C-alpha cells in the first residue's frame, strides 16, 4: 500500500516541487490549494504520471473550517495520512510601522496558525499508523530577521518553535521537522539580473533550486531518527 502525503500550497512554486518530489518517491498525493485552480490541476496531471493516486481540494487555511474540511477529505479519500508538508504561506513586504491588524492577521493566520491546526488534525489521523512525519517549510527569515518583511519573519520564527514543541508533544509516533530555505526560487517580480546578483554574493556563489529543498524534505521524511530539527538550505546565506 502506498503511503499518503498532504502538501499545502501545492499548486505552484515550492509547494508544487515538493508534491512532485513526493510523488516521484511513490507517495499518493493530496494537493491543497486556495485560488490557483488551473495550476493545481496541472500539478495533479504531472503527479499522475508517476502512477500513484492524486486528489486536490481548495480551502482557505486562514479559516479553521477550511482546515477541518481538508482533513475530513483526506480521511474520506485515502483513509490514512503518513506525511504532512506545511508549505502554504504568504510573504508581504511592508514597513514595520505600517503593519496593521489586517496585515498581521493575514500573515500569522496562514503562516503560523494554519500549520499549528494542520498538525493537530494530522496527528489525529497519523496516530492510527505510527511513523508519521510532518515537515514545516520555514524560511531563513525566521532565523535572521528581515526588516522589509516583519510579520513574515515573526511568523517563521514561530514555525521554528512550533516544530520543536510539536516534536516533543507528538513523539514517538510522529516526527516533526522543518526546512528553512534561502534563495531557491526567484520571486516573480524580480529581474533575472538581480536574482543572479543575490546568488553571486553567497558563499557557494549561486542561488539554489527548488529541488534542493525537495531533497531536504525527503531526507527528513525518510530518516526515522531525526525530530525537532530545522535543516537550513540557503547556500551559506546566513554566513554573509
Q: What pLDDT, on a 0 to 100 scale, did the predictor assign at position 179?
A: 98
CA distance 153 to 7: 22
The DSSP string of 162-214 is HHHHHHHHHTTTEEEEEEEE-S-S--TTS-HHHHHHHHHTSTTSS---HHHHH
Taking the C-alpha atoms of residue 140 and residue 90, their distance in angstroms, rounded to an integer, is 15
What pLDDT is stored for residue 238 in this prediction? 86
Q: Which of 24, 65, 47 is nearest to 215 (CA)?
A: 24
Q: 104: which 3 cell numbers?
A: 498581521
Torsion-angle region of residue 55: left (phi > 0), alpha (psi -120 to 50) or beta?
beta
Contacts for 184 with CB less than 8 Å, ≥ 6 apart? 14, 207, 208, 209, 210, 212, 213, 233
Report residue 167 as a C-alpha cell.
Answer: 516534536
Distance CA 173, CA 157 (A): 25
Per-residue pLDDT of the chain (240 residues; tens, 9 = 90+): 899 999 999 999 999 999 999 999 999 999 999 999 999 999 999 999 999 999 999 999 999 999 999 999 999 999 999 999 999 999 999 999 999 999 999 999 999 999 999 999 999 999 998 899 999 999 999 999 999 999 999 999 999 999 999 999 999 999 999 999 999 999 888 999 999 999 999 999 999 999 999 999 999 999 999 999 999 999 999 888
Gap between the Cα atoms of 32 and 179, Å rounded: 19
- Give the domain range for residue 25: 4-239
Q: What is the pLDDT of residue 240?
A: 84
Residue 17 is placed in which grid cell?
516541487
Query: What CATH number corresponds to the domain at position 212?
Result: 3.40.50.720
Q: Name the one residue in this structure whose C-alpha cell is 496593521.
A: 100
Residues facing 10 on adjacent strands: none
Domain total in the chain: 1
Amino acid at each position: 500500500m502506498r503511503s499518503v502525503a498532504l502538501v499545502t500550497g501545492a499548486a505552484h512554486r515550492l509547494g508544487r516541487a515538493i508534491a512532485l518530489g513526493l510523488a516521484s518517491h511513490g507517495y499518493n498525493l493530496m494537493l491543497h490549494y486556495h485560488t490557483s485552480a488551473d495550476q493545481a490541476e496541472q500539478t495533479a496531471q504531472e503527479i499522475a504520471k508517476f502512477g500513484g493516486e492524486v486528489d486536490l481540494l481548495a480551502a482557505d487555511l486562514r479559516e479553521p473550517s477550511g482546515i477541518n474540511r481538508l482533513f475530513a477529505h483526506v480521511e474520506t479519500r485515502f483513509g490514512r495520512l503518513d506525511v504532512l508538508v506545511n508549505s502554504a504561506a504568504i510573504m508581504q513586504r511592508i514597513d514595520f510601522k505600517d503593519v496593521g491588524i489586517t496585515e498581521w492577521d493575514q500573515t500569522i493566520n496562514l503562516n503560523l496558525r494554519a500549520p499549528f491546526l494542520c498538525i493537530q488534525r494530522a496527528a489525529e489521523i497519523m496516530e492510527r499508523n505510527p511513523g508519521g512525519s510532518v515537515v514545516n517549510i520555514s524560511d531563513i527569515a525566521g532565523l535572521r530577521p528581515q526588516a522589509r518583511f516583519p510579520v513574515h519573519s515573526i511568523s517563521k520564527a514561530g514555525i521554528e518553535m512550533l516544530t520543536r514543541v510539536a516534536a516533543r508533544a507528538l513523539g514517538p509516533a510522529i516526527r516533526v521537522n522543518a526546512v528553512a530555505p534561502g534563495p531557491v526560487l526567484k520571486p516573480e517580480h524580480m529581474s533575472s539580473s538581480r536574482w543572479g546578483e543575490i546568488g553571486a554574493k553567497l558563499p557557494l556563489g549561486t542561488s539554489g533550486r527548488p529541488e534542493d529543498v525537495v531533497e531536504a524534505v525527503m531526507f527528513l521524511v525518510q530518516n526515522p531518527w531525526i525530530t525537532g530539527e530545522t535543516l537550513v538550505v540557503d547556500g551559506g546565506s546566513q554566513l554573509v
